[in-house]
Amino acid sequence: MTARHVTAARLHGSRSKTTGDVRPGMSDWHVAIGALVHQCAGALAEHRGAQSSVIAQRATEWVNLAARDTRVFGNLAKARAQITSLACAYLHRYAPGAQAEYLGAEIPFDGGRVDLVWSVPGLGVVIDELKTTAWVRLNVDAAMLAQPQRYRQFGAEKWGSGFAGVRFLPLRNPGEARFITADGTVHRLDDSPAARLRDAA
């Protein structure tokens, strides 16, 4: 389980390649938090079935190694707590069951990077788009779903008939989660074929 130390130079270098995925008003801090949540969740994917205390301890250790540059994170204690909490929330609530295969995190394509990717038996390849921002009122409209729709197009091209769709997962607004099927149809996650991936054991 190797953590990649995030520096200001590395962050700006990665942003130049993913401008299309940075929404207006997002700061370097928010971009860095989101990237490390994805990476931490990926690093701990093999431990997703462990007890909560074990996952929390491993996440804390990983984040302490990865988030060390005060030029990016400012208050390190606050940033580390945010990353750890959000990564654990994803692993506890959304990470697929033991039979699913973890395919990677922060996977680049022409237009950005997809957050996390899984191959789920009986369903297919699923891309997870994590949102780490807290909204008082989240309006899940076409503009909000433009990014996961780009991920869907990438997934359909890369995995063909084996691609199932994209889960849009606002970690702080779980009631607004969505699943976009391979043909572009948008469902509430709880009413979709991807509603019970935690049970895919």
- Mean pLDDT in residue range 145-157: 95
Q: In a 10 Å sphere around its CB, with 0-12 CB exposed, 13-18 middle and 19+ buried, how is residue 52 labelled?
A: exposed
CATH code at position 174:
3.40.1350
Q: Residue written as tokens 């295969």?
A: 101
Q: 173 and 110, same structural domain?
A: yes
- pLDDT tens readout for residues 134-146: 765 677 888 889 9
Q: 108 and 40, same structural domain?
A: no
- pLDDT reported for residue 111: 76
The pTM (predicted TM-score) of the whole model is: 0.84
Q: Coil, helix or strand for 103?
A: strand
Does position 168 have pLDDT exceeding 90, yes or no?
yes
Q: Coil, helix or strand for 33?
A: helix
Q: 122 and 87, same structural domain?
A: no
Does 3 map to a domain?
no
The structure tokens listed for 157 are: 């091209």
Residues 45, 198, 189, 54: is their CA dihedral positive or negative?
A: negative
Which ranges constitute the DSSP H helices of 16-145? 28-43, 52-66, 70-73, 76-93
Contact 1, 44 (CB under 8 A): yes
Considering 93, 111, 133, which residue would you say is the last residue of a domain?
Answer: 93
Does 2 map to a domain?
no
Closest CA to 178 of 161, 163, 195: 195
Phi, psi of 33 (to 5 degrees): -60, -50
Q: 108 and 87, same structural domain?
A: no
Q: 68 and 119, same structural domain?
A: no
Greater confidence, 63 or 8?
A: 63
Question: Kind and range of the H or E element at 146?
Answer: helix 146-159
What is the count of structural domains for the chain?
2
Considering 41, 70, 93, which residue would you say is the last residue of a domain?
Answer: 93
- Give the pairing type, strands 124-131 and 112-120: antiparallel
Q: 77 and 132, same structural domain?
A: no
Q: 114 and 74, same structural domain?
A: no
Q: Which amino acid type is present at position 25? A: G
Q: Which domain holds residue 169?
A: 101-199
- pLDDT tens readout for residues 78-126: 999 999 999 999 999 999 999 999 999 999 998 789 999 999 999 999 9
Neighbour tally for 13: CB within 10 Å? 10
Closest CA to 59 of 36, 75, 78, 76: 36
